[in-house]
Structure 1
Amino acid sequence: MIQFYDPGDAAEQAEVESLLRQNGVEYFLKSSNGDGPSEILVAEEDVPQAQKLIDVMNRNR
């Protein structure tokens, strides 16, 4: 697993988690200090798919 996304807040983390889950991308969370949002890690082979999903999410904002 590699670091994929570092959300700015809990709402953004929930949005990214939901997007990944809905599209079948497995992920793990890594808490940086116990406070605030967690880093999102994905398998290296899933990074291209996950990045496409994030790109679409950002375009729709």
Structure 2
Amino acid sequence: MFAEPARTWAEVLKKWRFLLDRRAMTPEAGDERIQKLIKRALCNMERLEKREERK
């Protein structure tokens, strides 16, 4: 997954989602503020992904 740079926004989003999911599994992610940030970032990614699909 990280062997090559992302070539499209879809690839960027996939890599970021993977990293956020990994971060969500850390003990520090139990903090409510971190969880809120992760959820917001994932929602933003979904929104951007849908916008890219419409193009």
TM-score category by the smaller chain? Answer: 0.3 to 0.5
More strand by share: 1
More helix by share: 2
Q: TM-score normalized by structure 1? A: 0.33
Computing the radius of gyration from Cα coordinates, the structure with the larger value is 2
Q: TM-score normalized by structure 2? A: 0.36
